[in-house]
Amino acid sequence: MLESLIGMYHRHQKYIIAFVGICVAGWLLTPHVHIFLGLKLGIIVGWFNYWLLMRRTQAMTKAIAEKRTFYGMGTTARMGSVLLATIIATQVPDFFHIYSMVIGLGIVYSVVFLDFVIYSIYRKKNA
């Protein structure tokens, strides 16, 4: 179970890195610098939140296997990082576009959802 979670995370990580690369290319090659910086900020914060959630899931799985108690999934830290990104985007609007930052946060979760749907169809097809 834990190995499949780690493998899934690494698969998602490749897609997220591709999106960051697209944002860097857009930042360098287009005049819409603040939009692509906002997207990049959102994707990086979303990626950090996903990494934190995966780490906490691994700790919870290990605690359950060892029959220990487990407290929290890091919700406060994840909300705090989104709050920090929002503060950064609103305080420096010349560099970061706030709506792009929100879209960037959603891209990470869209990658996870779309990968789940595609993998479910693939698994059902091969079963």
C-beta of residue 34 within 8 angstroms of C-beta of residue 97 = yes
Q: Say whether pLDDT at 120 is over 90.
A: no
Q: How far apart are CA 112 and CA 4, in angstroms?
A: 14
List Cα–Cα distances, 65 to 5, 6, 35, 88, in angstroms. Answer: 15, 17, 45, 40
Q: pLDDT for 61-91, tens place per residue? A: 899 999 998 888 889 999 999 999 999 999 9
Q: How far apart are CA 127 and CA 42, in angstroms?
A: 37
Domain residue limits, the chain? 1-31
Q: Say whether pLDDT at 2 is over 70.
A: no
Work out the pLDDT band at 98, boundaries 50, 70, 90: very high
Q: Locate 12 and state its tokens.
A: 């998602």
Amino acid letter for position 23: C
